[in-house]
Amino acid sequence: MTAPRHVGELLAHVLREAGTKASRTRLNVALEAAVGPQLAEHVRVAAFRAGKLTVEVDSSALLAELRGFRAEELRNACNERLEPEKIARIDFRLGGTAHV
């Protein structure tokens, strides 16, 4: 069992989480627009920390294409749609391995 937390700490945590979800939604929208409607269902934002966007891909062939040929194009296209956050680097991972 964890120790009780002050209500201010709890509220700060809830607000941080809400901001993270809103940011992730904006990143997913930008990514989906960048890859187009056909590929949008095969990619999702897994994480965004310190300018590094981690994208989870559901196919090894698509992973190779995005990583090898389209990473910079997608980074630039996403950055055009994002105001406060800018992506410095995109990493692609095969689905289910984004936590590694």
pLDDT in tens for each of the 100 residues of the chain? 667 767 666 555 544 544 456 677 888 999 999 999 999 999 999 888 888 999 999 999 999 999 999 999 999 999 999 877 789 999 999 986 545 4
The alpha-helical segments, DSSP class H, found in the chain are 7-35, 37-40, 60-65, 71-81
Nearest to 100 by CA among 46, 58, 27, 60: 46
The CATH classification of domain 7-94, taken from the options 3.30.300.180, 2.30.30.230, 2.60.40.1260, 3.30.390.30: 3.30.300.180
Three-state secondary-structure class, residue 18: helix
Does this model's pTM top 0.95? My answer is no
Domain ranges within the chain, ordered by starting residue: 7-94
User: What is the rounded CA–CA span in Å between residue 85 and residue 100?
Assistant: 23
